[in-house]
Amino acid sequence: MTQNLEFHPAESPADRWRQGELVEITITDLSDSGDGVGRSGERVVFVPDTVTGDRVVVRLLRVKPQYAQGKLHDIIEASPHRIRPSCIVADKCGGCQWQHVDYDYQRVAKRNQIIQALERIGGFSQPPVGEVLQAESLGYRNKVTYPLSRSQSGQLQAGYYQKGTHQIVNLNQCPIQDQRLNPLLAEVKQDLYDRGWGIYDEKLHRGKLRHLGLRIGRRTGEMLLILVATDTNLAGLEEQAQQWLERYPDLVGVSLNVNRDRTNAIFGSDTHIIAGRSYLEEKFSDLTFQIRADTFFQVHTESAEALFQVIVDELNLQGTEIVADLYCGVGTLTLPIARKVKYAVGLEIQPEAIDQAKANARLNHIENVKFHIGPVERVFSTLDVDPDIVLLDPPRKGCDASIIETLRDTKPKRIVYVSCNPATLARDLKLLCADAQYQLMRVQPADFFPQTAHVECAAFLEIREG
């Protein structure tokens, strides 16, 4: 219980907020960034580390006319949805927002995010949003990339950034990553320290090692290790890479990525194979995929596969369809779909991804598919096929307006829009469904990022007849 605190209960709109003061509020919702949302008077307060149902005392940190951002000071009454975090640094680490939220309520909150976005931004009344597909909530990440730094005592640190800072929370294990990666994290850190390679300082733009990346095939157990550095001059790297391959039987390759730029981007454009293979093999939807250390592949393999199965079931493919997969990446959706239809095409702007998609098609003996390189908004309008079904899986910013326009002109019978951002999904669905051209039939959410506020979903649209 909070005692002897000078806080203000509910204030009237005329009351003036002051930075640093304490207010008592009840959390009534979770924002799409993961913060708890409450009200003090008529003003909204956003508070990290809270959950719907918490009654809390909050210290106001940033005060604006209509809202404030606060820091949890004390819990007066805990929500029934509040649990003890699985991670001992959950209150510091910025890798997760919701370790204190029970998993069933995480799914409820994510579904509400989608409904609210579709209603508020998309203008849909009672949108047909299903329950979020349940997923493994811990030990699921098949890929991690840790920034590196040195502590004040000189020890090498690897971990996620502390919330709201670029200070690293040092980790030797992580409950979110595949637990088979934990030994590598702790031991490889020590090897990097013993080698004496310089660590990059982002403020001074000096030093060599920037990131340590680990990746695992959930179904195969094959692993990759990648170092990101400012140049290739790391004395003894080949010897160290061979030692890692000998020490870890499931480690199949060690790579070095060079990123010389002063940037927040993790990877540069040049990747060098130091030892072993450039890729691991993974099983996805009964196919074998080759995945490199810097390849985009969903970090929750099982959730991605579950959502793909929903897509296949909903489409009820007859083997006669022509499918266009926009933003196809390495063919994660294109190739399993191609096995069930007459013909498929995949579009992607990244040449490396298209090279891997073609390699994956050859690996799985899939011949009724063709991949095109270039900006989707330009290449899509030049296709020499008339697709019955279009798959959309754009980045967080959503689809380019010209793609929406082309879809409305070409009128494919069905569209499946896979999205990681409810706001841009709602915006684009509103455009597609304008003038009653398409009808939103179903939205199926899936949990690709448990313990965080992120949510993925697939929206199914059908063209209206007549």
Q: Answer yes or no: are the C-beta atoms of 383 and 371 closer than 8 Å.
A: no
Q: Record the tokens describing residue 200, joined without a space.
A: 């990059």
Q: Quote the Cα angle for 58-60-65, to 5°.
A: 130
Q: Where are the beta strands (DSSP E) in 117-155?
A: 143-150
Q: Using CA atoms, how far apart are residues 231 and 212, in angstroms rounded to an integer?
A: 14
Residue in 93, 96, 328, 420 annotated catalytic:
420
87 catalytic residue (yes or no)? no
Could you tell me how many residues make up the chain? Answer: 466
Q: Using CA atoms, how far apart are residues 20 and 58, in angstroms rounded to an integer?
A: 9
Tokens 């004040």, located at residue: 152
Q: Using CA atoms, how far apart are residues 414 and 318, in angstroms rounded to an integer?
A: 14
| CA-to-CA dists, residue 139 to 27, 114, 147, angstroms | 29, 25, 20
Classify the C-alpha dihedral 311-312-317-320 as positive or negative: positive
Q: Record the tokens describing residue 441, joined without a space.
A: 């039939």
CA atoms within 13 A on the CB side of 355: 7
Q: Answer yes or no: are the C-beta atoms of 192 and 156 closer than 8 Å.
A: yes
209: helix, strand or coil: strand
Q: Using CA atoms, how far apart are residues 148 and 269, in angstroms rounded to an integer?
A: 20
Q: Using CA atoms, how far apart are residues 392 and 347, in angstroms rounded to an integer?
A: 10
The H-assigned helical ranges of 196-248 are: 237-247
348: helix, strand or coil: strand
DSSP 311-342: HHHHHT--S--EEEEES-TTTTTHHHHHTTSS
| Percentages (nearest 5) of helix, strand, coil residues in the chain | 25, 35, 45
Q: Using CA atoms, how far apart are residues 419 and 396, in angstroms rounded to an integer?
A: 7
Tokens 């204030």, located at residue: 11
Active site residue ranges: 420
